[in-house]
Amino acid sequence: MIRYEVNKAITPKQFLDILKRSGLAERRPVDDAKCIEKMIHNANLVVTAWANDKLVGIARSVTDYSYCCYLSDLAIARAFQKKGIGRELIARTQAELGPRCAIILLSAPDAVDYYPRIGLEKHSSAWVLPREKRLKNSIFLTSK
Ligand SMILES: CC(C)(COP(=O)(O)OP(=O)(O)OC[C@H]1O[C@@H](n2cnc3c(N)ncnc32)[C@H](O)[C@@H]1OP(=O)(O)O)[C@@H](O)C(=O)NCCC(=O)NCCS
């Protein structure tokens, strides 16, 4: 049986471990311990799935609980995938949010067919400033 928890404290090691056991590790900064620690420490909505006290799934979000919720990492241990845990983690994430709050995410390539399947809508005007990129023509940046 799977048990779900909202904002139960987990360690950076447990977070790293579920990233590795799900396959998401290849797309996350797993060799940057400080970043991993901040990712788990500063997230403010973390829903987890547990089987016999073993972490088997996580939905890690940053949100204002009212208008927007960025679901950064959804990861289910390989042995537990396709059993409804991912869908349940998103449903339980949404249940923590106010009625006007949208869930926003970027899909990993392997999950592009997953999100429409469970009811998310593709947004045609989403924009990203990539980590390595800086704004063009910023007075602030050129004066530094
Ligand atoms: C993608 C992932 C989060 C899905 O979670 P899950 O618990 O395995 O999936 P669910 O059980 O919620 O699946 C719900 C439905 O989607 C389908 N599905 C699951 N993974 C899918 C995928 N990658 N592509 C398309 N459909 C998928 C399931 O078969 C199920 O279909 P059904 O409604 O007909 O039964 C999980 O497989 C995972 O952690 N993958 C590796 C990491 C990753 O890619 N994370 C996403 C980061 S954006």
Q: Cα-Cα-Cα-Cα dihedral of 39, 96, 20, 41, to 10°?
A: 20
Contact between 30 and 36 under an 8 Å Cβ cutoff? The reply is yes
- Report the CATH number at residue 112: 3.40.630.30
User: What number of helices (H) and strands (E) belong to the chain?
Assistant: 5, 5
> Which residue's CA is minimally distant from atom 18 of ligand 1?
114
pLDDT category at 8 given cuts 50, 70, 90 is very high
Ligand 1 shell residues, CB under 6 Å: 22-24, 74-76, 81-87, 107-108, 110-111, 113-114, 117-118
Structural domain for 42, as ranges: 2-142
pLDDT category at 143 given cuts 50, 70, 90 is confident
Domain count, the chain: 1
Token code pair at residue 132: 């390595």
Q: pLDDT tens digit string along 75-116?
A: 999 999 999 999 999 999 999 999 999 999 999 999 999 999
Distance CA 11, CA 37 (A): 8
Distance CA 115, CA 26 (A): 20
What is the position in ligand 1's atom list of the atom closest to the CA of 73?
47
pTM score, two decimals?
A: 0.96
